[in-house]
Structure 1
């Protein structure tokens, strides 16, 4: 049994949840008197790539002749790249005597069925769906950024995430003095090397160390540590 779920599939939709996929697959195995050898689960990994930990494990088991059948809830669980999906369905699985079943799509490579004939079209539609969702996600993120929302997972040094307002940054008072000192030195003509040496000699908190611990500790500053993106100009604060 192979199970996959990613954000593009709508991880809040119960119909595609890991638990629901598992129930459908287990019921199919039981109703068809099949022997379940192993369950493979890739949670949170896009179907547009086939470089997935559990899928790679499945391929290794195929090479080792451990399994002779692969079952998924539907074809999109196998993948959303129609070229690579076609490779596995039309070339890899047959060469390795693997029976493939996509339950809700009615696909079974051991049975002569019209559902098998339209499998390439289903693969193309799955591919198009993934690309469409990806475009929509990028569009939403871009619009939120235009509205001043901070969409990165890690806050820029000198800021921290607002405790109650999503995607909003506020000044991190714990390191405010350090950031202001950097700007003060730069505005007074000090070069980056001089600023870095000053910060290291005074054992000021570095961005890397602060992200890891949230505490003041001795960490090495570098020229890249004091680069000044527009964010530091308080555009989103």
Structure 2
């Protein structure tokens, strides 16, 4: 009989109380020897919570079980498989459907109604125990905080942490630096956080992280800390687990905060003045829409490589440039196309467009001249097919997400079934549309009449906004290629226009 062994431990506390990886593996190997089974592989999740199904070793084990590699999987106990009953039932059902059975070292569950009840009750108590452990831990931390003792060392600059008494003590050298920073910032007003950081670096004072270099953010953090006034609040936030090893920090209600005390370094009034000054000096960058609309934006493509044309620049000089997206190295390729000033390029393009639209005959001649040339890809059927394929890929991603949410008990079975059925119907409809599109003959694309194009361009007002509206109404794609090597704005640009 080929079997696998799975072991898991999530905290040091569990390792100290007999749940270490080595202890579990040794007991599982002894169990395999009693069964006369051959251990093919051992799967270990070290440091992963049993409250989630997404664990690297467990995922590999589930894939191997689906491939029929094992006849049994040995666990030290049911809570090593999972802490939640719903997760235990999901894993047990997966194993049994694949012709594999779970085996536990500490318990034996017969395949009878009584055995199934005992197994499920074990899972309920495992989940209850996990909740009680967390509740007792949090209650102990809150009691310690209310007694005026810090839970851990937050490494606050200006203080040393006394682990024996769980409290902060003033570090004289660092405290003097804190007072000096507040004096510079509030009383002497020598400058902002950047200037103060530069002064500290010139004096050779080590930073809070122990490095020689100070930065502006370190000074801002010192000015914002209430600890230096002798009073601060603890238990202001909590961590919500969002994955096997990921957390999210969320604020607690104001009534749950716990007031703490520590030795005072600066007066509370000085700290309030620093916060007031810092709030007034705080600046935000306000992005303003450029008054000149770029004529070719979103429609132009590079004549050298076929990549999209984007706009770069701006800033105080308000100089903007057309550039190919592949001009910086991207996906291993680099385009040699040069930058083009937006205003100059738009003026050159509009003069070319006006020349083409001199009369209906010139528009017809231009379109006819392009008919034999290599045209830009502007086939609506191809665009529609690409959109359908992307939507199908998105549906497959959503299906995977739904299964992940269901495994984490974020969705009930009925909700997951309903969502999967909806996704399957959408995928079937899109597959039918894609098949019909591929089997349909290519139809001739209906284009604007040359007379209409000519009339719209010739009657366009001279404002950039009006030209942009006309451009979008008559032009489908335009290829732009700069051919000169001049400096300044003496451009030689080739425009290849595809009309709608």
For this structure pair, what is the TM-score category when the shorter chain's length is used for normalisation?
0.7 to 0.9
CA contact (8 A) 1:182 1:195 kept: no
**Which structure: greater strand fraction?**
2
* Alpha-carbon distance between aligned partners in 1 of 2:165 and 2:57, rounded to the nearest angstrom: 34
Following TM superposition, by how much is the alpha carbon of 1:9 offset from its aligned partner in structure 2, in angstroms? 6.4
Following TM superposition, by how much is the alpha carbon of 1:34 offset from its aligned partner in structure 2, in angstroms? 1.0
The 3-state SS of whatever aligns with 1:165 is: coil
Query: What does residue 27 of structure 1 align with?
Result: 30
Following TM superposition, by how much is the alpha carbon of 1:178 offset from its aligned partner in structure 2, in angstroms? 2.5
Q: Report matched runs for 1:1-237 at 5 Å.
A: 1-7=5-11, 10-14=14-18, 16-63=19-66, 65-90=68-93, 92-107=94-109, 111-112=111-112, 114-152=114-152, 154-162=154-162, 165=164, 167-188=166-187, 190=189, 194-203=192-201, 205-207=206-208, 210=209, 214=210, 216-222=211-217, 224-234=220-230, 235-237=261-263
Query: What does residue 237 of structure 2 align with?
Result: none
* Alpha-carbon distance between aligned partners in 2 of 1:37 and 1:200, rounded to the nearest angstrom: 61
CA contact (8 A) 2:10 2:46 kept: yes
Deviations 1:90-127 (CA, angstroms, capped at 9, x unpaired): 3x22333332112222136xx55732333222111111
Q: Aligned residue pairs: how many?
A: 225
Distance 1:153 1:63, change over 3 A: farther
Following TM superposition, by how much is the alpha carbon of 1:59 offset from its aligned partner in structure 2, in angstroms? 3.0
Distance 1:174 1:35, change over 3 A: farther
Deviations 1:197-232 (CA, angstroms, capped at 9, x unpaired): 31135325443xx1xxx3x41142316533533333
Distance 1:40 1:146, change over 3 A: same
TM-score of the superposed pair, with normalisation by structure 2: 0.40
Following TM superposition, by how much is the alpha carbon of 1:64 offset from its aligned partner in structure 2, in angstroms? 5.1
The 3-state SS of whatever aligns with 1:188 is: helix
Distance 1:57 1:173, change over 3 A: farther
Following TM superposition, by how much is the alpha carbon of 1:140 offset from its aligned partner in structure 2, in angstroms? 0.5
Following TM superposition, by how much is the alpha carbon of 1:67 offset from its aligned partner in structure 2, in angstroms? 3.8
* Alpha-carbon distance between aligned partners in 2 of 1:7 and 1:102, rounded to the nearest angstrom: 21
CA contact (8 A) 1:206 1:221 kept: no
The 3-state SS of whatever aligns with 1:148 is: coil
Report the aligned-residue RMSD.
Answer: 3.0
Following TM superposition, by how much is the alpha carbon of 1:68 offset from its aligned partner in structure 2, in angstroms? 4.2
Deviations 1:154-179 (CA, angstroms, capped at 9, x unpaired): 422322332x6153332334533332
* Alpha-carbon distance between aligned partners in 2 of 1:49 and 1:124, rounded to the nearest angstrom: 15
Structure 2 unmatched ranges of 5 or more: 231-260, 264-500
Following TM superposition, by how much is the alpha carbon of 1:88 offset from its aligned partner in structure 2, in angstroms? 1.4
Following TM superposition, by how much is the alpha carbon of 1:10 offset from its aligned partner in structure 2, in angstroms? 4.1
Greater relative contact order structure (CA < 8 Å, 6+ sep): 1
The 3-state SS of whatever aligns with 1:104 is: coil
* Alpha-carbon distance between aligned partners in 2 of 1:133 and 1:200, rounded to the nearest angstrom: 48
Distance 1:184 1:8, change over 3 A: same
Structure 1 unmatched ranges of 5 or more: none
Distance 1:219 1:45, change over 3 A: same
